[in-house]
């Protein structure tokens, strides 16, 4: 149950959740929205949910692109979503890769990005959801105190089976549109 006055959010992984995971996407021309994503974001927003992207972006540590490149991509995505009132409230990313930069608390499955967003934006984790396409997304969400769901086109693939084994009861939806339908029916 959401506490009175609590701010709830949908925390979202990026690659494989919002856009096609084409490997180290950092330019608009390489971005491809997954089906139904802009509309699902607009529906969440219309229902009063904040939208926050939390993403591992090790391409920065690897030297494939810069933080400025990533910021330009995020501004582009915001501009694409703004006409639908679906732009995220904030984008958070972990630029680290442990074997290059050493360990950190922000790389999922650690919950640091979610904790930071909750602090910055006044979000109540217990009233929120973390949605992503990997077990690490679910782990980060649950560690932060959120509810979590996995987005997999094939609900019986190896990632889905491993996630359900590690976190029994985790819902698995075929994409963000289906997760939106289910979450909005319950909330």
DSSP 148: E
Whole-angstrom distance, CA of residue 57 vs CA of residue 70:
9
Q: Is the pLDDT of residue 3 over 60?
A: no
CB atoms within 10 A of CB 126: 14
Element housing 10 (H / E): strand 9-12
Check if 154 is active-site: no
Whole-angstrom distance, CA of residue 112 vs CA of residue 94:
9
Q: Which of 13, 133, 154, 157 is catalytic?
A: 13
pLDDT tens-digit profile of 67-83?
A: 999 999 999 999 999 99
Q: Is the pLDDT of residue 48 over 90?
A: yes
Whole-angstrom distance, CA of residue 9 vs CA of residue 156:
27
Q: Is the pLDDT of residue 149 over 90?
A: yes
- pTM for this predicted structure: 0.96
Check if 78 is active-site: no
Mean pLDDT of the chain: 96
pLDDT tens-digit profile of 5-44?
A: 459 999 999 999 999 999 999 999 999 999 999 999 999 9
Domains and their CATH numbers in the chain:
9-186 (3.40.50.1000)
pLDDT at 30: 97
CB atoms within 10 A of CB 42: 18
Proportion of the chain above pLDDT 70, given as a percent: 97
Band of pLDDT at residue 187, cut at 50, 70 and 90: confident
Q: Which of 15, 30, 89, 133 is catalytic?
A: 15
């Amino acid at each position: 149950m959401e506490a009175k006055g609590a701010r709830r959010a949908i925390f979202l992984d990026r690659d494989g959740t919002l856009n096609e995971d084409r490997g180290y996407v950092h330019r608009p021309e390489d971005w491809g929205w997954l089906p139904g994503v802009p509309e699902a974001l607009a529906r969440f927003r219309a229902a009063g949910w904040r939208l926050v992207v939390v993403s591992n972006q090790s391409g920065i540590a690897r030297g494939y692109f810069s933080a400025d490149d990533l910021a330009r991509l995020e501004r582009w995505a915001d501009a694409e979503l703004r006409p639908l009132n679906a732009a995220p409230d904030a984008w958070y990313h972990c630029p680290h890769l442990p074997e290059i930069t050493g360990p950190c608390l922000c790389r999922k499955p650690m919950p640091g990005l979610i904790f930071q967003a909750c602090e910055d934006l006044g979000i109540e984790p217990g009233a929120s959801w973390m949605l992503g396409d990997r077990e690490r997304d679910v782990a980060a969400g649950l560690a932060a105190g959120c509810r979590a769901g996995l987005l997999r086109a094939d609900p019986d693939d190896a990632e889905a089976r491993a996630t359900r084994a590690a976190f029994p009861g985790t819902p698995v939806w075929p994409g963000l549109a289906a997760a939106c339908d289910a979450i909005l029916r319950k909330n």
